[in-house]
Structure formats: structure tokens, C-alpha cells
Amino acid sequence: MARGKFITFEGIDGAGKTTHLDWFRTRLQDKLTSHARAVVMTREPGGTPLGETLRGILLNQPMDLETEALLMFAARREHLAQVIEPALARGDWVLSDRFSDATFAYQGGGRGLPRDKLEALERWVQGGFQPDLTVLFDVPTDTASERRSAARAPDKFESESESFFERTRHEYLRRAAESPQRFFIVDSTRPIDEIRVKLEEAIATL
């Protein structure tokens, strides 16, 4: 059976990507039903027992910036080995809430870790592996801030300043400009029905 495809959802906290994950998974499954393939939905950090343990630490515990980046990539290596690579090999498709673009955006853009260190970790952990499609939900930081304030109690990233999220958003957009063939940018300020029309367009490219 042909290799499956790997799709990621990205965006700053408050961009609204989580609102569309289940809907997108259902639409992908509809597309694949006749091919007897499944859609595996997962997330980062997380996706495995070890990854979920590290998620709790990463989202809530203060730590050195380089420690944070190393733990993100450690969780990712386990995620690739235990979930993503086996699913793709058996022909399933994988939909992940975040992947390595988030590390470049948050630890690189937001926190200021030099890009060359992240690129070295990316090469080590992923080789040349990248998603087949990355859907980037883009939204102004003030809009995202309003959405976050209406949500649950924030984790340590969600509690960051607006300037942090400006830098994070800028790095996401830089990554998208660097790999336009991989990224599909969605204006997340639009109404939900309009966003889902755009997401149908993204599915049609797969």
C-alpha cells in the first residue's frame, strides 16, 4: 500500500485551529473511506505516553530555554517512532495538532533560541522529514489574545506577552514563505463557514 500523508495544523495560541481539527479529520476520513485507510489524529507535544508526560512538564514547569527545546524534540522523536512513521508506513494518514514548525515559532521566534540550534535538532530528529501539508491558521495577535482570555486557565505559553506572540507569528509566516509548497495559510479572522470552505480547498490539494 502507498505511504500515507502527514498533515499538520499550526498557529499561535488563540488562532482557532483546535476548533476545526475534528471537522477536518472527518472530511479527510470521508475522502479515504473508499481506499480503506484511517486518519490518525494526534498532537504535540504529546501523542505517546512519554510525550504526554513531557507535555505536562513543558506546558507548566519553568526551565532553561535549551532544555525546553531539547524536550520538545525528544517528545517528537518518540512521536515519530511510535505513532507517525508506523501509521504512514501502513498507508494511514496522520493529522497532528502542531509539529516542528511550532518549535521554530515558539522556542525560536518567541523565546529567541538561535535558529541554527533548532535546525541542527530538526536534522537529527527528523532527517529530511516534513509534513505533506501544513495548514497555518493566521490571526492578528490582539484577536488571538481576546480569544485566549475567554478560554480555560492558561498554561505558561498562553500566559506570554503580546510581543512574544508577535514574534511567534512572524516566525510562522517566515517558515511559510520559506516553504510555500507545503503551507496553506488560512485567515482565521473569517467566519467558521468561510474558513471551512478554505479547508475544503486544502483537502482537495492532497
The answer to whether 16 is annotated as binding is yes
To the nearest 10°, report the CA torsion of 100, 102, 103, 108: 130
Is 117 annotated as contributing to ligand binding?
no
Q: Which of 86, 164, 80, 170 is nearest to 126 (CA)?
A: 80
13 is in an annotated binding site: yes
Ligand-binding annotation for 17, yes or no, is yes
Q: Is 11 annotated as a binding residue?
A: yes
As a dihedral over the C-alpha atoms of residue 59, residue 64, residue 65, residue 70, rounded to 10 degrees, the angle is: -80
Q: Is residue 15 annotated as involved in ligand binding?
A: yes
Q: Which residues fall in the annotated binding site?
A: 11-18
Binding site residues for ATP, as ranges?
11-18
